[in-house]
Chain A
Amino acid sequence: MRKTIVSAFTVALLCFSVSASAQETRKHPIRVGFGMDVGVPSGLSLGVVLHPKVDWVSAQLSLTHNVLNFGGRVALKLDPLAVFANNPIAPFVDVQGGAAAQGTIPGHSDLPSLGYDYLNLYGGLRLGKPNGFHWNFEVGPTYMHVTTDNFQSVLGNKGQGLVVGNPTVNGWVTPTFVTGFEVVWP
């Protein structure tokens, strides 16, 4: 009997907590924040984070740099456990699409340049509350379309009379990763 009463009271408390958190989540305006991360293949990234009305879905638009050149990245994250606003740890799914402009290794402009488009299909872990500062670890497969330029320079003096086109590479790299933080203003 006591156990039943305690169990019922606990369930009621949980329901109230979820309801209150859900109400808090439903009511908030569009939240904006920023994020910074590092990973492969995106490189170093600095971006704007947008939580449209709810915390369990967010979008990020980022400027990236992969040592060779600048690029851009768009991400859409689904974090269903973010409905519990005080939940400090949760898994999430993140789909990122990006591109890096053609670039050469610094100090070696005579070598071929490299650029790529990519699609990351990540699963991740959020450490920290969804509506404040939190750290993300993400890992998963990446599809890449890599283009080159100035490949003729590989031939050097050996290539007299020979003209070489710029090869491309298309395929999967598994796993790749990104890790970094986001700060969303309440």
Chain B
Amino acid sequence: MKTNKTRTGGLLIALALLVSACVSATVDEPNVCSSSDLGTVPGAPVSGVAVPPQQFSTSQDLSEVLGKIGDVADNASARLTQLSLSSDNDLSWVSQVDVNVKGDSDDLPDRFLGTYRAAGSAVGNNLALDIKMDDASVQKYLNHPVTLTFTVSGTTTTQTNKLSSTLCAGASGDFSKSL
């Protein structure tokens, strides 16, 4: 009887240890990216002529995926890791790009998000924009579907440019759970 009680007690202790395991960890999602087409800039007969700024808008939604991190982690935070403008041709004709962001509610008004200024060197077909919004505000907007408006300034080019945008965010959070 004594032996059986000891074995049973040992098993119960082992099971209690297993079911009472604690996990304290940090989860990190390095990149969630959304790409979308912006529109086409037609080629011109003559290149190098200054043209008025053109606007292109697109909707992006990273909120569902970033929300999954928030469901798991206690203090999830999100950050913009990439905002870029791409083309199927060279973008050296672009002198300036300004991006505004607007959310899907009144408390997420139209605000300046990022910008690009040409430095005079060859750029290829991808422009990385500098983020000008603070992290806390970025996180507020990323938790909702947003509309990005790109204002593109530059000169004419003989090539047609199919423009697209890419928005990437990273998220991380801590969690402590008893299993």
A165/B23 in contact, CB under 8 A: no
Number of interface residues of A (CB under 8 A): 20
- Chain B residues with CB under 8 Å of A170's CB are 25-26, 28
A162-B65, A167-B27 as given contacts; A173 in contact with B21, CB under 8 Å: yes
A161/B31 in contact, CB under 8 A: no
| Segment at the B interface, from A57-65, A86-94, A174-182 | A174-182
- Chain A residues with CB under 8 Å of B33's CB are 162-165
Looking across the interface, which residue of chain A has its beta carbon closest to that of B31?
A165
* Interface residue? A169 (CB, 8 A): yes
* Interface residue? A168 (CB, 8 A): yes
- Please classify the interface of chain B as helix (H, G, I), strand (E, B), loop, or mixed, using the class held by over half of its residues: strand
- Chain B residues with CB under 8 Å of A155's CB are 65
Complex formed: what's the CA distance from A175 to B34 in Å? 40
B23/A172 in contact, CB under 8 A: yes
* Contact with A163, one of B18, B24, B32, B170 (Cβ below 8 angstroms): B32
Q: Contact residue range for chain B?
A: 20 to 34
- Chain A residues 138-186 with CB under 8 Å of chain B are 139, 144, 155, 161-177
A171/B26 in contact, CB under 8 A: yes
- Chain A residues with CB under 8 Å of B9's CB are none
* Contact with B30, one of A167, A176, A177 (Cβ below 8 angstroms): A167
A-B CB proximity, top 8 nearest: A171-B25, A165-B31, A165-B30, A163-B33, A167-B29, A169-B27, A172-B24, A174-B22
19 residue pairs bridging A and B, Cβ less than 8 Å apart: A161-B34, A162-B34, A163-B31, A163-B32, A163-B33, A163-B34, A164-B29, A165-B29, A165-B31, A167-B29, A167-B30, A169-B26, A169-B27, A170-B25, A170-B26, A174-B21, A174-B22, A175-B21, A177-B14
